[in-house]
Structure 1
Amino acid sequence: MLDAMNGQLPLRQPCPPGACDCGREALLADPHGDVRILLLTRQEEQRLLQRLEQLKDLADLQHMQQRMYEQLGLRLSIAPGFNEVRSMRGLDIRIAGQPGLCRKTRQAIPAAIRRGLERTPEIAWRLLDSFDLLGGSH
């Protein structure tokens, strides 16, 4: 989806002044900055969130983590929280800090993943098993 006027990919529109701490302008001013995250327009963000809510299995989740890193530079980690994991809220889903990543997006991606895990809890069980928390007893 190249912009017909200047032959470039469309970048995410800036957040309203004072509404976000993403550092978009500083990122654009840095000649060595990784601007891939700015390719996540609001429309593309909605598609990503919908996709994360429709996860099929643990391999699909891991595939999405890899694709988000490759295409956007997003480093997403999912691990059991410090306390007992009794629900999807017990999972620690974090996105590494990154210039240009909107505050709302930083919150929306983990929320979409939680909804996907709640929809298909087998993914969460496989994830926990990969940390050997279930001790192979499922």
Structure 2
Amino acid sequence: MNSLPPLRQPCPPGTCTCRRDELREEPGADLRILRLTRHEEQRLLERLENIRSLADLERLQQRMHEQLGIRLSISPSHNEVRSMRGIAIDFVEQPGLCRKTRQAIPAAIRRGLERQPEIAYRLLDAHDLLRDA
């Protein structure tokens, strides 16, 4: 029996900028992001909050791209980094990604980095301009 995976419920009209309707109307569009139900989103946020290493964070980034099509970049901002807010977490523009999810994922990552500050130090080391000198 082939059953379709559950899809995320649409946001109320006018409250979100996810462009979900455009995504569903476009032929050949990547619909993987619609598989991120609210329950699955909570599980993802929990996993992001409980990261244990930089490799674990990178693995989660890769899995989000493979399973949901979410491209996420995490790097130190161009200015000085004094707290976890100084780490830039940016999404590649993607139709179907809810505004609330776009805010919740970086918040969960920052909470995970605050719990495990050595991950943030490894992230800073990985982006060091003088690492190859």
Sort the TM-score into its range (normalised by shorter chain).
over 0.9
- 2:8 is aligned, of 12, 16, 20, to 12
The residue identity in structure 2 corresponding to 1:9 is P
- Residue 82 of structure 1: how far off its partner (Å): 1.4
Instruction: Please show how residues 23-102 of structure 1 align to structure 2 within 5 Å.
Output: 23-102=19-98
Gaps of 5+ in 2: none
Deviation by residue 1:90-132 (Cα, 9 ceiling, x = unmatched): 0001111100000010010000000000000000000000012
Deviation by residue 1:34-85 (Cα, 9 ceiling, x = unmatched): 0000000011000000100000000000000000000000000011111100
- Residue 33 of structure 1: how far off its partner (Å): 0.5
Which residue matches 2:124?
128
The residue identity in structure 2 corresponding to 1:63 is R
Counterpart contact for 1:128–1:134, Cα < 8 Å: no
Which residue matches 1:115?
111
Gaps of 5+ in 1: none
Q: Which runs of 4+ in 1 moved over 4 A?
A: none
Count of residue pairs the alignment pairs up: 132
- Residue 134 of structure 1: how far off its partner (Å): 8.3
Q: Structure 2 length normalisation: TM-score?
A: 0.94
Distance 1:114 1:134 in 2: 25
Distance 2:3 2:20 in 1: 21
Counterpart contact for 1:12–1:42, Cα < 8 Å: yes
The residue identity in structure 2 corresponding to 1:82 is H
- Residue 133 of structure 1: how far off its partner (Å): 5.7
User: For the structure 1 residues 134 and 114, does the alpha-carbon distance in structure 2 shift closer, same or farther, using more than 3 Å as the test?
Assistant: farther
**CA root-mean-square deviation:** 1.7
Distance 1:82 1:29 in 2: 38
